[in-house]
Structure 1
Amino acid sequence: MLELRHRGSCPGPGGAVAPPPREGEAAGGDHETESTSDKETDIDDRFGDLDSRADSDIPEIPPSLDRTPEILKKALSGLSSRWKNWWIRGILTLTMISMFFLIIYMGSFMLMLLVLGIQVKCFHEIITIGYRVYHSYDLPWFRTLSWYFLLCVNYFFYGETVADYFATFVQREEQLQFLIRYHRFISFALYLAGFCMFVLSLVKKHYRLQFYMFAWTHVTLLITVTQSHLVIQNLFEGMIWFLVPISSVICNDITAYLFGFFFGRTPLIKLSPKKTWEGFIGGFFSTVVFGFIAAYVLSKYQYFVCPVEYRSDINSFVTECEPTELFQLQSYSLPPFLQAVLRQETVSLYPFQIHSIALSTFASLIGPFGGFFASGFKRAFKIKDFANTIPGHGGIMDRFDCQYLMATFVHVYITSFIRGPNPSKVLQQLLVLQPEQQLNIYKTLKTHLIEKGILQPTLKV
């Protein structure tokens, strides 16, 4: 910046530096307004200077340790680093997929615990980056308050879930009734206590940094806790709404990597230099085909399509129901050009398969931007991965950065195009009401059904 100021300038009377004449301006004439290009250049220079100074304030974070098992290191010692990383990623990917299948077999409750565990680990990885970057300042109560706020937000969201889906269970327990009735007030009081603790922990000369960390914690909570809550909400709609979106993102991640590894030549985005257009396009088509096939297979089984409900009489989650039309085979007329190719006029599909195309398209076209966002975040803080939890993959957040964006889309998609009144949820809400309120609703519903001709009017004697 100093060079730019002095370059091309000449000293005036008294040693003052006079600016050179600008284009279109006579020497010694009146100064005109700077051109648009000059303004833009000046703004770019100033912001570039600020950005470089901000980067210089960020201390170097030590590189992550290599946690690759020794048996894999020995087996792959003769390969180049490129192929060694390929085999490590492949082996660990198959291992994680196998474990995921096992958890699916164990049921909905284990999937909820898995989501909660991933949420906590992702929160830990992001908060740890903040702590490492600003560790030299030794901020008081930063880590303690971060985990306290995580506890408060989880208490609020999961308490709402308990109130919605476990009302019959709560009704039998008097202590839980008190917690549910005043749940939001208790949640607010807990958060308020943390807020006051933060204000009391403010230290002179570190105010700005402490507010940075306060914002860091809350943005992390927004990314992790809110999205994981939406994942569980999707799961309660039916396991298929959980599995197809998540597996589509996984499929896109794997196939885009494979297409990019073997055929990639054209860089896609500067934030991720290893991402290529070949991988992006190959991943898109592979993901749409995979989602269509996965939707067809899963739609056949009640275990995957029925809403997850809690049965208080057996104290367990159940997935039994009469599948809705969304999961029943329907005949669809093919377009003329496909009729000529396939030599048939109609095809039998589950309506959910059509919805799976929308889900897969989002997973392959918009979902990767969650990964690009994470790449920009890592570059901003000069780190390669969020952590070194999984050899060849990085941290848990490195593998689930696209999943959080997908969870929000699925929740919005269900509420906008799919969800209707849930009889089970309505019944649970009715059971919480007072007997007089339940009786009034019964009479109103009975009168309505008689007017519709569904019930016969009772003869008065």
Structure 2
Amino acid sequence: YFGTFVQRREQLQFLIRYHRFISFALYLAGFCMFVLSLVKKHYRLQFYMFAWTHVTLLITVTQSHLVIQNLFEGMIWFLVPISSVICNDIAAYIFGFFFGRTPLIKLSPKKTWEGFIGGGFSTVLFGFVFSYFLAQHQYFVCPVEYNSETNRFVTECEPSELFQLKKYSVPLLLQAVLGWETVNMYPFQMHSIALSTFASLIGPFGGFFASGFKRAFKIKDFADTIPGHGGIMDRFDCQYLMATFVHVYITSFIRGPNPSKVLKQLLVLQPEQQLNVYRTLKSHLVEKGILQPSLRG
């Protein structure tokens, strides 16, 4: 999407085409400067800081990049996961406070199995209901795309099948309880169960990781930005793996071929290459019976 802003300036278009190479070249320059700056008496400290820099980049830059990628798939892919993690954190605390008896993990002595299980069920239910309300609005479900005519990003589209109500049969065991044989729901709600389950089962391990990290350095919180709660990182430690999971989930089970991206790639081809693509596509459509054979040639 960086390319969208610079492609209108011809002198900057090389940044789009070679941005990966340019970024890697800058990294190599920094790497070489690091090696040249090594001092015999400070090897350990310098490599310590080098490792810290890469871990920070992995945790912050990579996660931030994936969050942005998820946002462009539709706001719902950002709001449901992040809300599920927040809900799980709150519900686990409530269940643990009132019913907690069995310690869960030594890294976090206050965490209990009762809170972990209660928070898990609450999160799945919350994600299922929350998804139903978000799926009704185009603003939340439409991918963000650039409109060259209006010169801005838009979130207007014909909602995909994921966000169109469908009728599902209620399992026999639940029919006696609910009294319903069928129910109308959005297919995305089924995916929300997977997202909420991950937020409940794996998300807390981000918090455990942060707890172990703080214990290793004998600190209580990462910062004191929020009085009584620590820093921003202390509030978002459970979000650590969520963005990566959502991105992998989308690319593995949701995302399909994007006609607009294919068209953009075709438009940058040479005229001869475009004609070859046209002839191949035309021949394929004729063979499948979509075009009339009389159109051949």
With the shorter chain as reference, the TM-score category is over 0.9
- Of structures 1 and 2, the one scoring higher in RCO (CA 8 A, sep 6+) is 1
SS of aligned partner of 2:40: coil
Q: Which residue in the other structure is 1:415 paired with? A: 251
Selected match of 1:187 from 20, 23, 48: 23
**Where in structure 2 are the equivalents of 1:216-295 lying within 5 Å?**
216-295=52-131
Q: Which residue in the other structure is 1:300 paired with? A: 136
SS of aligned partner of 2:229: coil
Residue 452 and residue 459 in structure 1: after superposition, are their counterparts in 2 closer, same or farther (change >3 A)?
Answer: closer
Selected match of 1:448 from 278, 284, 287: 284
**Where in structure 2 are the equivalents of 1:157-236 lying within 5 Å?**
161-163=1-3, 166=4, 170-236=6-72
Q: What one-letter code is carried by the residue in structure 2 that aligns with 1:291? A: G
Q: Percent identity?
A: 87
Determine if contact 1:238/1:305 at 8 Å carries over to the other structure. yes
Q: Would you say how many aligned residue pairs link Structure 1 and Structure 2?
A: 297
Q: Which residue in the other structure is 2:214 paired with? A: 378
Q: What one-letter code is carried by the residue in structure 1 that aligns with 2:269? A: L
Q: Distance in 2 between matches of 1:453 and 1:287?
A: 49
Residue 393 and residue 428 in structure 1: after superposition, are their counterparts in 2 closer, same or farther (change >3 A)?
Answer: farther
The TM-score normalised by the length of structure 1 is 0.61
User: Structure 1 runs of 4+ off > 4 angstroms?
Assistant: 457-461
Question: RMSD value over aligned CA atoms?
Answer: 1.9
Give ranges in structure 1 of 5+ residues lacking alignment: 1-160
Measured against aligned partners, the alpha-carbon deviations of 1:184-218 in whole angstroms (never above 9, x if no partner) come to 22112211111122112212221022111111110
Larger radius of gyration: 1
Q: Distance in 2 between matches of 1:176 and 1:453?
A: 44
Determine if contact 1:171/1:432 at 8 Å carries over to the other structure. no
Determine if contact 2:138/2:157 at 8 Å carries over to the other structure. yes
**Where in structure 2 are the equivalents of 1:68-87 lying within 5 Å?**
none
Selected match of 1:396 from 227, 232, 255: 232
Selected match of 1:328 from 153, 157, 164: 164
Q: Distance in 2 between matches of 1:441 and 1:404?
A: 43
Q: Does 1:430 align with 2:266?
A: yes
Q: What one-letter code is carried by the residue in structure 1 that aligns with 2:28? A: L
Q: Distance in 2 between matches of 1:385 and 1:415?
A: 35
Q: What one-letter code is carried by the residue in structure 2 that aligns with 1:273? A: P
Deviation, 1:460, is: 8.9
Q: Distance in 2 between matches of 1:208 and 1:430?
A: 51
Deviation, 1:250, is: 0.9
The TM-score normalised by the length of structure 2 is 0.94
Determine if contact 1:246/1:403 at 8 Å carries over to the other structure. yes
Selected match of 1:368 from 192, 195, 204: 204
Determine if contact 2:286/2:296 at 8 Å carries over to the other structure. no
SS of aligned partner of 2:236: helix
Determine if contact 1:228/1:404 at 8 Å carries over to the other structure. no
